[in-house]
Amino acid sequence: MSINGKTLATLKRGQKGIINFVDATDPQVLRLMVLGLVEGAELENAGAAIGGDPMEFRLFGCGISLRQEHARHFKISPVAAGD
């Protein structure tokens, strides 16, 4: 875990974060890395389905939805809102 324990799964709606560590040991996470969820990518939480899962993110203007269980593998450093 990163120091502040923040992952994509802990982002609130409208908050942004930059991925700073990907736990690439899970083969399922590799698929997501191919989609661009790598260190340095900036994502914004753009909503969620009922019950908060799956979650929707904006990745450079493109929408992508992730299940919570996968979002947890991506550690982030927060970005100030209104960037």
Partner 1 sequence: MFNRLTGLKQRIGNYPGVTVERHIGILKFDKTTTELVDLPGTHSLSAHSLEEHITVDVIFGRMEGTQQPDGILAVLDATNLYQGLFLVQQLLDLELPVIVAMTMSDAADKSGIGIDVERLSQLLGGTPIYPVVATTGAGLEKLRGAISDIRSQTPPARIALWPELSAVADVLASTATEPVRFAEIERLLIDGATETNQPILDKLGHAAGGKLETLRDELFGGDPPIAVDARIRYKWVRETQREVQRSTPRLHSWRTRVTSFLNRPIPGTIGLFVVMAIVFQAVFAWATPVMDLIDAATSALGTAVVNTFGAGALSSLIADGVIAGVGSVIIFLPQILILFLFIILLEDSGYLARAAYLMDRVMRSVGLSGQSIIPMISSFACAVPGIMATRVIPNRRDRIATILAAPFMTCSARLPVYALLIAAFVPATQIGFMNLQGLVLFGLYLFGIVAGILTALLMRQTALRGPKPPFALMLPEFRRPNLQTVFIELLGRAKVFLYRAGTVIFVVAVLVWVLAYYPRSDEIAVHVEQQRAAATYSLSGSELADRYRRIDNLAAAAQMEQSWLGRAGHFVEPVFAPLGWDWRVSSAVIAGFPAREVVIAVLGTVYAVGDEADIGTLSSRLKASTWPNGDKVFTLPMVIGLLIFYACCLQCAATLAVIRRETNTWRWPVFAWAYMTAIGYIGALLAFQIGSA
Residues that bind partner 1 (CB under 8 A): 22, 24-25, 27-36, 38-41, 46-54, 56, 59-67, 70
For residue 72, the minimal CB distance to partner 1 (Å) is 12
For residue 38, the minimal CB distance to partner 1 (Å) is 5
Euclidean distance between CA atoms 68 and 60, whole angstroms: 20
For residue 54, say if its preceding peptide bond is cis, omega within 30 degrees of 0: yes
Q: Between residues 15 and 65, which has the closer beta carbon with respect to partner 1?
A: 65
